[in-house]
């Protein structure tokens, strides 16, 4: 187990370097000059333009910029935005908001998704199962923006329960609605994955044995059935956490949540290469950590899966 973790951590290094390099090049390859665009429709003043570029280090060659960026990154310096703020400050402001939002969405999709999946799997072909199929199909087929606007209209404009947008991005109660919208698509997937897995396993030999031994129903389902059925679900959930964190752009936009999606969108619009790569670096780390945890969870769920 220890060796496995060490190997996985070592594997992360090239993945990390590769993604950071790629994103650095991709952002720089975007057309358009961000600095001269600050002048809008007017022609930039050449002397001032040169001074700006010098301050941001954009007068250097791409290779020099790359090594500067990498060197600073390893010392924990994410650089500066065009307005002179520390990119790290921008990240540390936005991250806690999105982490909350993503974890809430994550919790909603695990609790609701697994429960719904479990019950419809156990009641295969019954009304509840059919209802679940229809409901999940609906959630999968409705695009997130539509769902967001519908929720906004129903709960804020018509019912008046909440304000249309989130007023305090750190308030858990206010984040509930956007978290549900954000998690809804994955919720449907989790429910379907769990259901299929349960349906498969419910007729397996060990289940028959467990029932034949006269184990209580709670134990049969909880320890034997659910534990074995959760492996594909956990795989999905692991990659989904990363997707939730990065994919909150649309949801955060609709509900005006001041998180990563919002900051990233703003930075891409201004073509602030440093800020965009900074966020991506952090998201890559989140993703790598999540997939490591998934791999470790396999062993917990099914001891037959051993790590050499």
Partner 1 sequence: MRGASQAKWVVAAVAVALAATACGSGSSSGGSSDSAVNAQGVFSYQSAEPQNPLQPANAMENQGGRIVKQLFMGLVDYDPTSGALRNQVADKIETTDAKNYTVTLKSGWTFHDGTPVTAKSFVDSWNWSANTKNNQINSDWFSDIAGYDAVHPEKGDPTADAMSGLKVVDDTHFTIELTGPVSYFQYKLGYSAFFPLPTGFFADPAGYGQKPVGNGPYKFVSWEHNKAITLAAYDKYAGTDKPKNGGIVFKNYSSGEAAYKDLTSDTLDVLDQVDPTDLASYKTDLGNRAVDQAQGAIQNISFALYQGDWAGVDKAKVRQGLSMAIDRDTITKTVLNGSRQPADSWVAPGVMGYKAGACGDACKFDPAKAKELIQAGGGVPNNKITIIYNSDGGHKEWVDAVCNSIRQSTGVECLGDPKPDFKTSRDIIRKKAVPSMMRTGWVQDYPLNANFLRDVYGTGASANDAGYSSPEFDKLAQAADQATSVEKTADLYQQAEAVLAKDMPAIPLWYYKTNSGWSNNVQNVKFDSFGNPVFTGVEVKQK
Binding residues (CB under 8 A) for partner 1: these are: 31-34, 36-43, 45-48, 50-52, 55, 82-85, 89-90, 93-94, 152, 156-157, 160, 163-165, 167, 169, 252-256, 258, 262-263, 265-266, 269-271
Shortest Å, Cβ 80 to partner 1: 11
Closer residue to partner 1 (CB): 69 or 151: 151
Contacts of 182 (CB under 8 A, 6+ apart): 101, 102, 105, 144, 244, 247, 248, 251
Shortest Å, Cβ 276 to partner 1: 14
Closer residue to partner 1 (CB): 48 or 239: 48
Closer residue to partner 1 (CB): 45 or 302: 45
Shortest Å, Cβ 43 to partner 1: 4
What is the distance between the terminal CA atoms of the chain, rounded to a whole angstrom? 7
Judge contact between 233 and 197, C-beta under 8 A. yes
Closer residue to partner 1 (CB): 41 or 205: 41
Judge contact between 37 and 271, C-beta under 8 A. yes
Shortest Å, Cβ 275 to partner 1: 11
Closer residue to partner 1 (CB): 100 or 224: 100
* CA pair distance 62, 46, nearest whole angstrom: 21
Shortest Å, Cβ 35 to partner 1: 9
Q: Can you say whether the dihedral through the CA atoms of 10, 15, 20, 22 is positive or negative? A: positive
- Looking at residue 170, what DSSP letter applies? T
Closer residue to partner 1 (CB): 101 or 290: 101
**In Å, what is the CA distance from 3 to each residue of 10, 31, 238, 287, 300?**
11, 45, 21, 21, 17
- Looking at residue 181, what DSSP letter applies? H
CA 12, chain centre distance (Å): 18
Shortest Å, Cβ 39 to partner 1: 7
Backbone angles phi, psi at 80, to 5 degrees: -120, 150
Shortest Å, Cβ 187 to partner 1: 23
Map tokens 């099914």 to a residue: 302
Judge contact between 191 and 136, C-beta under 8 A. yes
Q: How many CA atoms lie within 13 A of 190 on its CB side?
A: 26
Closer residue to partner 1 (CB): 120 or 262: 262
């Amino acid at each position: 187990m220890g060796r496995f973790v060490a190997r996985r951590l070592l594997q992360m290094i090239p993945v990390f370097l590769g993604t950071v390099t790629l994103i650095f090049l991709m952002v720089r390859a975007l057309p358009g000059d961000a600095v001269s665009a600050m002048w809008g429709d007017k022609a930039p003043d050449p002397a001032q333009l040169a001074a700006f570029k010098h301050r941001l280090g954009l007068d250097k060659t791409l290779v020099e910029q790359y090594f500067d960026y990498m060197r600073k990154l390893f010392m924990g310096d994410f650089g500066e935005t065009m307005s002179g703020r520390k990119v790290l400050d921008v990240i540390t402001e936005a991250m806690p908001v999105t982490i909350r939002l993503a974890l809430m969405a994550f919790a909603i999709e695990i609790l609701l998704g697994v429960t719904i999946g479990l019950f419809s799997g156990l009641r295969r072909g019954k009304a509840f199962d059919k209802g679940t199929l229809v409901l999940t199909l609906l959630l999968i087929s409705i695009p997130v923006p539509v769902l967001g606007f519908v929720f906004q209209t129903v709960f804020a404009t018509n019912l008046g329960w909440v304000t249309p947008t989130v007023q305090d991005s750190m308030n858990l109660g206010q984040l509930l609605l956007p978290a549900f919208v954000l998690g809804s698509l994955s919720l449907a997937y989790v429910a379907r994955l769990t259901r299929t897995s349960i349906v498969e396993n419910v007729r397996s030999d060990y289940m028959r044995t467990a029932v034949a031994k006269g184990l209580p129903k709670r134990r049969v389902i909880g320890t034997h059935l659910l534990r074995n059925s959760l492996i594909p679900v956990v795989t999905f959930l692991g990659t989904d956490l990363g997707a939730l964190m990065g994919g909150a752009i649309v949801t955060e936009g609709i509900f005006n949540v001041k998180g990563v999606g919002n900051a990233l969108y703003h930075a891409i619009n201004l073509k602030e290469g440093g800020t965009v790569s900074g966020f991506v670096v952090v998201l890559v780390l989140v993703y790598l950590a999540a997939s490591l945890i998934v791999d470790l969870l396999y062993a917990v769920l099914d001891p037959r899966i051993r790590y050499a």
